[in-house]
A and B are shown apart, each in its own frame.
Chain A
Amino acid sequence: MRQEPLLQAKEVDKIYPVGGHDFYALKNLSFTLNRGEFAGLIGPSGSGKTTLLNLLGALDTPNRGTIELLGEKLSHLSANKQALFRRLHISFIFQTYNLLPLYSVFENVELPLILLKLEPKERKKRVHEALEWLSLMDKAQAKPSQLSGGQAQRVAIARAMVKNPEIILADEPTANLDSEASHGILKTLRQINEEKGATFLFSTHDDKVIGYLKRKITLTDGQIVHDLSLPEPLKKR
């Protein structure tokens, strides 16, 4: 299978000032993510997983180095252009779901399409597709507060996939879910990866998630210490 680079991080440093001195959350980190991968950043708390995910998603900027997505150097873009880039190409799944509490499930999923200025008819069609895919049609008019954790995370997944992004970045997506709900979510995400070809990058230290990954990038103290791609036959579960 031909490997097409989607995302590249080169010699990235991320420094936070802590108690009067610089703390390197990421140090001289480089790696490449190819299109269609189902990869995960794994490591203990404080290893830099979320920091790296934020940089790759243009939610933050590195102190040194470059991050390229689709050939565009994200760190060189203005805040507005980064927002537009995220709007078009990147989706996020958060540990705490981050659904807008005042919007219904339908409206939460529709939001990225409104930002993309799609016609209402097209939006409705796509939202219905996403909700059906995630078996959420019966919850379309429910408010996030009326959903279970697993349902809320499925809504977040629907919101992430509805705009067909280049990459979906998932930060600890199962951290707040029980085992059964976690497996359900992970199976769904794998299915999206395999059937729709969406590229996934996780940040996790959850063994359940790690078990589903096709590529495991281990971070310790802001540096990649292992980068293990499973052989093709082993990737299927």
Chain B
Amino acid sequence: MLFKLALRNLLAGKTRTILTLLVFTLTLLVTLFLRSLYDGMEAQMTTLRLQEEIAGGQYWTQGFDPFDPFSLEEAQATTPAPWHPLLQQGKLYELLIQNGTAYPKGRLKNVQVRGVNPQQTAITLNFTPLQAKLPPGVTPTMLGARAAQAWGLKVGDHFTLRLRSQTGSFTALELVLTRRFHSSVPQMDLNQVWLPLKDLRQAVGRPGQATLLMLKKGAVAPPALAPWVWMSPDQLLEDTRQLAESKRGGGLVLYSLLFFLSLLALFDSQALAIFRRKQEIGTLMALGLTQQRVTWLFTLEGCLYGLFACGFSLLIGLPLFAYVAATGLDLGISGETYGIPLQQVLYPLFTVRMVLETYASVLPLVFLVSYWPAAQISRLKPAEALREGMR
């Protein structure tokens, strides 16, 4: 009976009901959309980093800190003998990282020099152009498109690289740019000079040494052997997760505000309806409805707003979001420009869990906002409700 009455009251509200539902549905749609953007952003950043940077996890030499160039002085080690079969099977790839200075077009650039096996398949970047046959004394190199652009270099251009060897003496290499590659992960591009691993090892006098080892995705990670430390994809993605969380924080403020306004609209609507219907409340009490059931009646009415808004947002949202998720959103500019591994087209990510979480976080609030005015009014004695309802 209460449900039927609540539903009828809701439908009888006409304009008031439509407006309240509209505000609520829009808020839910905006919230779902924003959350899907942030989830899509994190998913894209994670995927890109895994594909182009992290692979299936990495082993770092003890003391290696990617944010501290000085750590590169010591953070080198040879690959343990038990892992050599993995190197041969193409499940593990060595990467040697050194500090260096590049002189493109007469300018001076402090760079990180990365020696990589040109045939590596751990990450999706193609380093085979590092195998280019060049005249003696010239070493092939690859640069990210943004670095090459900033330095004014095109394929075939030469520049000098100065390195410091293990013994502390300086050495220099004549490099020729064999490929400008595109990476959506700025860390792989910005001030990074990519060389064949053997050439870099030879130049700095570190035969057999590497700074980190990349495990191919799907390969089983062997137990870490000193001085190598296992860094799982989860650990390596921690900063990406934190970045996404900070972005979500901003979004949370926005949709919290929207929800606050929607809940305020619902509260107003409920409070007005309740005070306008005091006579009805008094009549129901006179007929024998208990205070609790009067409270539930009006709470149910408010909750129906929430449930209907969830239903409408699904009805409108499903086709709309399915379309956006398939076509993606052109942001006009890629996140790489801001140092974020994001492409120009962002694909919002809609999951059942995210939708259910959104609804689950809203409905208790709707319940509270509906319950409060109803609980206040049901405290009236039936005679008071009838008397005030006649005024």
B247-287 vs A, CB cutoff 8 Å, 1 = contact: the mask equals 00000000000000000000000000000000110111111
Q: Quick check: is B386 within 8 A (CB to CB) of the other chain? A: yes
CB-contacts of A84-99 with B (<8 A): 84, 86-88, 92, 94, 96, 98
**Closest approach, in angstroms, between the C-beta of B283 and any C-beta of chain A?**
4
| Residue of chain A at shortest CB distance from B292 | A80
Q: Quick check: is A100 within 8 A (CB to CB) of the other chain? A: yes
Q: Quick check: is A210 within 8 A (CB to CB) of the other chain? A: no
Q: CB < 8 Å: which of B5, B8, B291, B381 contacts A59?
A: B381
Contact at B290–A79, with CB atoms within 8 Å? yes
Tell me which of A109-117, A124-132, A178-186, A200-208 binds B.
A109-117
Counting residue pairs across A and B whose Cβ atoms lie within 8 Å, the total is 71
Contact at B283–A83, with CB atoms within 8 Å? no
**Which residues of B lie under 8 Å from residue A83 when comparing CB positions?**
285, 288-291
CB-contacts of A53-110 with B (<8 A): 54, 57, 59-61, 79-80, 83-84, 86-88, 92, 94, 96, 98, 100-103
Q: Assign chain B's interface to a size class.
A: 20 to 34
Contact at B291–A112, with CB atoms within 8 Å? no
Q: Quick check: is B315 within 8 A (CB to CB) of the other chain? A: no
Contact at A115–B288, with CB atoms within 8 Å? yes
B354-391 vs A, CB cutoff 8 Å, 1 = contact: the mask equals 00000000000000000000000000011110100010
**Closest approach, in angstroms, between the C-beta of B383 and any C-beta of chain A?**
4
Interface size on A, residues (CB 8 A): 25
Q: Quick check: is B165 within 8 A (CB to CB) of the other chain? A: no
Q: Do A60 and B390 form a contact, CB below 8 Å, given A80-B291, A94-B283, A115-B288?
A: no
A115 to B285, CA, bound (A): 11
Contact at B383–A100, with CB atoms within 8 Å? no
B1-41 vs A, CB cutoff 8 Å, 1 = contact: the mask equals 10001001100100000000000000000000000000000
Contact at A96–B279, with CB atoms within 8 Å? yes
**Closest approach, in angstroms, between the C-beta of B281 and any C-beta of chain A?**
11
**Which residues of B lie under 8 Å from residue A88 when comparing CB positions?**
288
**Which residues of A lie under 8 Å from residue B383 when comparing CB positions?**
54, 59-60
**Which residues of A lie under 8 Å from residue B289 when comparing CB positions?**
83, 87, 115
Contact at B280–A94, with CB atoms within 8 Å? no
A88 to B288, CA, bound (A): 8
Contact at A112–B287, with CB atoms within 8 Å? yes
Q: Do A102 and B1 form a contact, CB below 8 Å, given A57-B286, A112-B288?
A: no
A103 to B382, CA, bound (A): 21
**Closest approach, in angstroms, between the C-beta of A50 and any C-beta of chain B?**
8
| Residue of chain A at shortest CB distance from B7 | A102
Contact at B291–A111, with CB atoms within 8 Å? no
A83 to B292, CA, bound (A): 11
**Which residues of B lie under 8 Å from residue A59 when comparing CB positions?**
282, 285-286, 381-383, 386
**Closest approach, in angstroms, between the C-beta of B204 and any C-beta of chain A?**
85
**Closest approach, in angstroms, between the C-beta of B288 and any C-beta of chain A?**
2
A92 to B287, CA, bound (A): 8
**Which residues of B lie under 8 Å from residue A61 when comparing CB positions?**
381
* A to B CB contacts below 8 Å, 17 in the list: A54-B382, A59-B386, A60-B382, A60-B383, A79-B381, A83-B289, A83-B290, A84-B290, A86-B285, A87-B287, A87-B289, A88-B288, A100-B5, A100-B284, A101-B280, A102-B9, A111-B287
Closest 3 CB pairs of A and B: A87-B288, A60-B383, A54-B383
Q: A83-B291, A100-B280, A101-B12 are in contact. List 10 more A-B contacts (CB 8 A).
A: A59-B382, A79-B290, A79-B381, A80-B291, A83-B285, A83-B288, A83-B289, A96-B279, A96-B390, A159-B287
